[in-house]
Amino acid sequence: KMSGTKNKLITSCVKTVSRKDGYQCYVAMVETLKNRINDGLIKTDDVGLLIVDEAHHNSFHKLIGKFKNAAVIGVTATPFSSDINLPMRKNYEELVVGEQIGSLIEQGYLAKPTNWRYDIELNTLKTGIHGDYTVSSSDELYSSPAMLDLLVHAYQEHSMNKKTLIFNNGIFASRKVEETFSKLGYPIRHLDSKTSPAERADILKWLKVTKGAILTSVSILTTGFDEPTIQTIILNRATTSLTLYHQMIGRGSRRLPQKKTFSIIDLGNNTDRFGEWNASIDWQHVFENPEAYHEGMSSKTTYQAHQLPSEMRSKFPNTIELSFDIQAAHQAALNAGQKAKIVMRDSIRQHALMCADNSTSVKEALDLTSELDKEIDWRIKQYGKCLGKVTKNYTE
């Protein structure tokens, strides 16, 4: 529009597009455009240029094929498809790499982040059909008293009185966050994709004008949202999506004359999985070798090797760390010149503390021990493997 190009927005109200309209450019959401083309209401043969925003999304894959005679330009900050079976190189022949985030920070275009990480046990999280962690397992973990206490602690330590945006994976967890912070007297509101347009506008206006406001959100505000006064981003979730990781943190990176830095609080081991948000990435290598990059990220998710049942999380809601790495503890004991049996002693102590922290009486604590039977069996077998002196039948 600013360049003087005559353009038209294709909304749900626009049913057909005629050549006689005289427009040089059309703008549309992917689903609207796909429906009009499939219904035969829009002809694509004469289109010479197709520009795709957020080009990493898989939803554009089939749509691009409709434009047989068009040159295609895809724009994205993270040229890595979330679906390893549909790499971007299948639709794009060449990658033109822009400035790295670190360079944009040095040039004064983006605020500099301070990263605060907490080592979170994610063993109870389950992966869905699209590759990311399920809402149900995330809600169960992040709505637990232990995680809510940790969230409050992290906020009080690193974001007190700062305008804060909290990202969650599920509505239930986000509502729990709102409830917890409200009881403590902090200014907080909740926003998700089901919030009405009027209420959403009211919440975003409140966020803009309220000093120290906290907004907890779900499946929204990762794109198309710009509030430069955000001072802290809290990732109250884990994700396997590199793009989502960058989008969430990016909401706090806008620089203002009075805002040269912002804080990141990571409660999902996301930094360990993807690296620092402002670290350099060889995007050309990622574009050409997406399988290798995906495998490298997957190898960092070591906690999936021993999946704990989600039921255990519900039985021990006041405990953050449910697992105990027998092999790592055994190696640490050897390095310290200690006897191997100290590993089982520490394992027993951890289980005893779990039972004590999640009960109000000795009887309740003793009853909880039965919930640990399978985990105890697994740990003993791991210990046996470390010793290397037990029979093959036993270790199996």
Q: Which token pair is 302? A: 């070591």
In the structure, what pLDDT confidence band is assigned to residue 260 with cuts at 50, 70 and 90?
A: very high
Q: Where in the chain is the domain with CATH 3.40.50.300?
A: 7-90, 101-299
Tell me what pLDDT residue 303 has: 45
Percent of the chain residues topping a pLDDT of 70: 93
Percent of the chain residues topping a pLDDT of 90: 40
CB atoms within 10 A of CB 212: 14
For domain 7-90, give the fold.
Answer: Rossmann fold (3.40.50)
CATH 3.30.390.50 is right for the domain spanning 101-299 = no
Alpha carbon 362 to its chain centroid, in Å, reads: 39
In the structure, what pLDDT confidence band is assigned to residue 392 with cuts at 50, 70 and 90?
A: very low
Tell me what pLDDT residue 300 has: 59
**Higher confidence at residue 188 or residue 241?**
188
- Say yes or no to pLDDT of 387 above 50: yes
Mean pLDDT across the chain: 86
**Higher confidence at residue 296 or residue 369?**
369
**Most confident by average pLDDT, 114-128, 241-255, 301-315:** 241-255
Tell me what pLDDT residue 326 has: 86
- Say yes or no to pLDDT of 307 above 70: no
Each as own residue / partner, the long-range contacts of residues 343-346 (CB below 8 Å, 24 or more positions apart, any chain) are 343/383, 343/386, 344/379, 344/380, 344/383
**Most confident by average pLDDT, 24-33, 200-209, 319-328, 373-382:** 200-209
Give Cα separations from 88 to 70, 264, 291, 372 (angstroms).
17, 29, 11, 45
**Most confident by average pLDDT, 35-39, 181-185, 277-281, 334-338:** 181-185
- Say yes or no to pLDDT of 97 above 80: yes
Q: What is the pLDDT of residues 7-65, one digit of tens each?
A: 878 887 777 777 677 788 888 888 888 888 888 888 888 888 998 888 887 777 778 88
**34-43, 167-176, 242-251: lowest mean pLDDT where?**
34-43
What are the backbone angles phi and psi of residue 79, rounded to the nearest 5°? -75, 65
pTM of the model: 0.75
Place of tokens 């008293």: 145
Instruction: Report the C-alpha gap between 34 and 36 in whole angstroms.
Output: 6
Q: Which token pair is 197? A: 């347009």
